Amino acid sequence: MNRYVIIVAGGKGLRMGSDLPKQFLPIGNKPVLMRTLEVFRKFDANLQIILVLPLAQQKFWKQLCEKYRFTVEHVVADGGETRFHSVKNGLAQVQGPGLVGVHDGVRPFVSVEVIRNCYDLAKQYKAVIPVIDVVETLRHLTDAASETVSRNDYKLVQTPQVFDAELLRQAYAQEYTPFFTDDASVVEAMGVSVYLAPGNRENIKITTPFDLKIGSALL
């Protein structure tokens, strides 16, 4: 069965606030994005990797690959207006049947075990996402105040989110709504349930400068 991963790195990184797009920032002397591609190559030497990058950053990425002698094989697709549109552009490069993972380029600390488990489970369940427990007390904001809710009713969602290729193509043929913040929400909009698999706590999304500090500590 063909296996693909669409690694999305087409965002603006506004919350990071750095001149250099966050996917290119170094953690331990290596750009975040290279670490992310390497872990997927470690998972599967034959995995077809599709990297989604803004058109304006593709030349720089090529130069960076030469500078770091980065040899993980991949093809590049153009970033879109939102994450949804970036995934859709990447998906256009997936031909035929198989399993397609979608992963944030800025989650370099996903474990090979989590990746493998998600792809394995997707053979049976067709739509699998990694999640972790909420470890703090949660409050729901109401109109007038706020109230504690049970943390056991919630999970934190990670990537890679792995799907049957045809199912994902059908899902991404739907019209975009701002409610689509991940791939599971797009698939669920067709009435399909997603299966929850264990994620790994280190699999943080590098979003703010604080996350870079945590990332360095995780090496």
Ligand X SMILES: C[C@](O)(CO)[C@H](O)COP(=O)(O)O
Ligand Y SMILES: Nc1ccn([C@@H]2O[C@H](COP(=O)(O)OP(=O)(O)OP(=O)(O)O)[C@@H](O)[C@H]2O)c(=O)n1
**Residues near ligand Y (CB under 6 A):** 8-15, 52, 79-83, 86, 104-106, 205, 207
In the bound state with ligand X, the residue whose beta carbon lies nearer, of 1 and 156, is 156
Identify residue 108 by its one-letter amino acid code. Answer: P
Q: Look at residue 182 and give the partner it binds from ligand X, ligand Y, none, a contact being a CB closer than 5 to 8 Å depending on partner kind.
A: ligand X
**Segment 187 to 216, residues that bind ligand X, using CB under 6 A:** 205
Considering the complex, what minimum distance in angstroms separates the CB of residue 81 from ligand X? 13
Kindly tell me which residue out of 174, 181, 193, 216 binds ligand X, with binding defined by CB under 6 A. Answer: 181
Asked if 50 is part of the footprint of ligand X (rule: CB under 6 A), the reply reads: no
Quick one: which of 35, 83, 88, 126 contacts ligand X (CB under 6 A)?
Answer: 83
**Does residue 168 belong to the site contacting ligand X (CB under 6 A)?**
no
Q: Which is nearer to ligand Y, 26 or 120 (CB)?
A: 26
- Nearest approach in angstroms of CB 30 to ligand Y is 17
Token code pair at residue 71: 């040899």
Q: Which one of ligand X, ligand Y, none is in contact with 9 (Cβ closer than 5 to 8 A by kind)? A: ligand Y
- Name the minimum Å distance from CB 159 to ligand X: 5
Residues 6+ apart with CB under 8 A from 201: 132
Q: Residue 104, interface with ligand X (CB under 6 A)?
A: yes
| The three-state (H, E, C) secondary structure of the chain, written as one string | CCEEEEEECCCCCCCCCCCCCHHHCEECCEEHHHHHHHHHHHHCCCCEEEEEECHHHHHHHHHHHHHCCCCCCCEEEECCCCHHHHHHHHHCCCCCCCEEEEEECCCCCCCHHHHHHHHHHHHHHCEEEEEEECCCCEEEECCCCEEEECHHHCEEECCCEEEEHHHHHHHCCCCCCCCCCCHHHHHHCCCCCCEEEECCCCCCCCCCHHHHHHHHHHC
Least distance from ligand Y to the Cβ atom of residue 1, Å: 26
Query: Given the complex with ligand Y, which of 72 and 120 has the nearer CB atom?
Result: 72
Complex with ligand X: residue 41 or 205, whichever CB lies closer: 205
Euclidean distance between CA atoms 2 and 168, whole angstroms: 14
Decide which of ligand Y, ligand X, none touches 80; Cβ closer than 5 to 8 Å per partner kind.
ligand Y
Task: For residue 146, give both structure tokens.
Answer: 């706020």
Residue at token pair 């879109």: 80
Interacting residues toward ligand X by CB under 6 A: 83, 104, 157-159, 181-182, 205
